Amino acid sequence: MPWIILAFLVLIIQIMAIIITEYRRPDKAVAWVMILFMIPLVGFLPYYFIAKRYTRHRILSQNEYNQRESFKAELIYRCNQRIPANGLAETVSKNKKLQHIVQNKLNLPITACNETTVYAESEHAFKAMLESIAAAKHHIHLEFYIIRDDELGIQFKQLLIQKAQEGVYVRLLYDGIGSRRLGKAFIKQLREAGVEIGCFSPPLVTFFQRQLNYRNHRKIVVVDGKIGFLGGLNIGDEYLGKDPSFGYWRDTHFSMKGDAVLWIQYTFLTDWYVVKGQLLTDSSYVPVQESHGRDIVQIVKSGPDETILELIFTLIISAKQRIYIETPYFIPDPGVLLAIKTAVMGGVDVRIIIPGTPDKKLVYNCSLSYVQELLQAGVRFYCYQQGFLHAKVLISDDLACSGSTNMDLRSFCDQFELNAVFFDRKIVNRLTDDFFTDLSVSNEIVQSEFEKRPPQQKMKEVFARLLSPFF
């Protein structure tokens, strides 16, 4: 009996510790308390190792801080000199809430004089990346969540080795959790050729630092500081549609020339310092941009210390006519969920495309748990049928936001992401055309039919939704 009383007291203490720590996120608190009841006492161990609030891996010294801020201020000044006389795009200027967010809450400035290329076909995106890397003269910077030792990964590896042997500075960052299957031999060959390599979240180190939940989900390529790539693609054969379990892989990726590249580069250099402790502020990494394009773009870096949630929320509540969303995972924050409901009830055309074939069944069931209540509110849902949908796009009237961020809690709050906000109709129209192309190969979810799904499926969705703060 004393052991039972002691165990009960320990359980109570654990529950109180979770409630006190997570009171700002009641959804997460409820999920962890549920885990405790399912796995009494032992359930606190994963909470201890996973749920610790993010703390910076490396703190800048005062001198380093001053140097980085001076470097950033110089880049901002250069970008501001190239903003057109009429300032922000008309769409933003009309919306005071959105204008306040993009000018004051986001940590990187709006840039002009950009040339943007949109890739809806992975093969074209990888071809452009490899051609740019092959043409590099001074440096190549790469940062990916997943790198595989497969046909595509070997192609990148061999080219990076070749460029390093030619005397080009080559730096590669990868996430230790996302690339946990990447063999030591792959890394060793790159290092021996002169490629500098950093691992953002080494699994063992991250485990003991209790930071396993915080992953670098960015996908970056910068060549000579003059061309930058970002979007949803990692390096692996499945992203070329070579995995038979997924088939055709539908993604959205971008290449850019112009001042936006400075901030893709800045993001890489910031991450490089976090991992390697090297503060790179030489002007050769941020050359004067030669592009005189007309695209106005804002690069948005986000993470557990600088959330993108405010921007997503504002883009949704600001819409007057349309909201189009494509995402492989749809697990909205309560505020975003309410914003979507409010928008559609106000007459906004809200359409959301999710995969028809899931890659993670538990996460997919969680996504489906939101479908019925949003269908009832008037949102139109579609399931993509041509393969696997991995594109991450939000179109709000005449603005678009796309990059590495999924429409889920992990991307909003726990992962390091990189996105771009597009203010020009040319790019927004292209993304809209791609959306409707995807719509043409998707099946709409009909509410009356969806409500007939089996009870066991509904239970799976309920269970998955309770666990959603962990996804």
Catalytic, 397? Answer: yes
- Classified as helix, coil or strand, 419 is strand
Q: Which position among 157, 257, 301, 390 bears the catalytic label?
A: 390
C-alpha 400/C-alpha 425 separation (Å) is 9
Report the 3 state secondary structure along 129-179: HHHHHHCCCCEEEEEECCECCCHHHHHHHHHHHHHHHCCCEEEEEECCCCC
Task: Mention every residue, 6+ apart, whose C-beta is less than 8 A from residue 14.
Answer: 36, 41, 43, 44, 47
Residue of 219, 253, 257, 341 with catalytic role: 219
Give yes or no: 253 in active site.
no
Any residues with CB less than 8 A from the CB of 365 and at least 6 apart, and which?
Answer: 457, 460, 461, 463, 464
In 3D space, the residue among 113, 110, 114 whose CA is nearest the CA of residue 101 turns out to be 110
Instruction: Enumerate residues 6+ apart whose C-beta is below 8 A from 198.
Output: 171, 172, 173, 174, 272, 275, 276
Q: Out of 141, 175, 224, 424, which one is annotated catalytic?
A: 224
Q: What are phi and psi of 258, to 5 degrees?
A: 120, -170
CA 383, CA 395: separation in Å to the nearest integer?
18
Contact of 140 with 175, CB cutoff 8 Å: no
Q: Taking each helix axis as running N to C, give the angle between helix 334-345 and helix 309-318, from 0 to 180 degrees, rounded to the nearest 10.
A: 10
- Is 28 noted as a catalytic residue in this protein? no
Find the Cα–Cα–Cα–Cα dihedral 136, 142, 146, 150, rounded to 10°. 20
- Is 96 labeled as catalytic in the residue annotation? no
Catalytic site includes residue 392: yes
DSSP 3-state of 282: coil
The catalytically annotated residue of 217, 226, 341, 460 is 217
Distance (Å, rounded) from C-alpha 457 to C-alpha 398?
38
Instruction: Name residue, tokens 């001053």.
Output: 66
**Cα Rg of the chain, angstroms:** 23
Residue 141 annotated among the catalytic residues of the structure? no
Bridge partners of 228, per DSSP, are 222, 256
Cα 89-93-96 angle, rounded to 5 deg: 145
Residue of 383, 337, 362, 356 lying closest to 465 (CA atoms): 362
> Could you tell me the CA-to-CA distances from 27 to 32, 35, 363 in Å, in that order?
9, 13, 16
* φ, ψ (nearest 5 deg) of residue 250: -100, 115
Selecting among 341, 392, 434, 438, the annotated active-site residue is 392
**Shortest CA distance to 178 belongs to which of 130, 134, 239, 248?**
239
Q: Are 276 and 442 in contact (CB under 8 A)?
A: no
The catalytic site residues sit at 217, 219, 224, 390, 392, 397
